[in-house]
Amino acid sequence: MPNLYKIRKNDTAKLQFRMLDSVNALRAARGAPPVALNPQLNAAAATHSQDMSLQNRPWHFGSDGSSPIDRLARVGYQGRLVGENISETYETELETLAAWMEQEDTRRTILSSQAREMGFAWFQETNGKIWWTMVMGDPGGAPRIPQANPSAARLVPNAVDNPDAATAEQADPDIVVITSTPAT
């Protein structure tokens, strides 16, 4: 039987900064600017992680129909949503980051050159299952007007075959990337 990864209440800052350092190392390797933790984005991520657990499904819309854009508005974030990654797993935060980096859409959110701020939070159930949420934002971007339940598929830009070519987000600065990883 595998060891249970149990997160204690006083581990919050340690886990958030471990994730921030890891994300910024990955971003630096790709020439993207670093991101900083934002307490409003952390709050939006924490609320969504707990809500996914209550719904017992990893998806980008809240039990009240809220979108990631709605959740950022609710916490008072004045910037623009760049993207959201979610996961339902028993893995650590760094194993989850590695899984996100293996998928093109979640990797694109993490490495977005438009992101300047990050929120990262989780909710762990008593059985050990962890619901992770990462939110990337641009404080200089104008907030988008929330729409009731926009299709997540519609918001994900097309894949870019050539990593040296212009990215989809550079071609359309209004793209919001909303992605998730399957349960492990």
pLDDT single digits (tens) 60-109: 888 788 899 999 999 999 999 999 999 998 889 999 999 999 999 999 99
> Tell me, what DSSP letter sits at residue 144?
P
Buried b (16+ CB within 10 A) or exposed e, 57-70: ebebbbeeebbbbb
Please tell me whether the overall predicted TM-score, pTM, comes out greater than 0.85 for this model: no
DSSP letter (8 states) at residue 35: -
User: Across the chain, which distance is largest between two alpha carbons, in Å?
Assistant: 48
- Entry field: residues in the chain: 184
What pLDDT score does 145 carry? 52
Q: Sign of the CA dihedral 45, 8, 89, 28?
A: positive
- Quote the pLDDT of residue 60: 87
Nearest to 160 by CA among 138, 142, 139, 177: 177
pLDDT at 2: 59
CB 157 within 8 A of CB 62: no
pLDDT for 8: 85
Which parts of the chain register pLDDT below 50? 1, 146-184
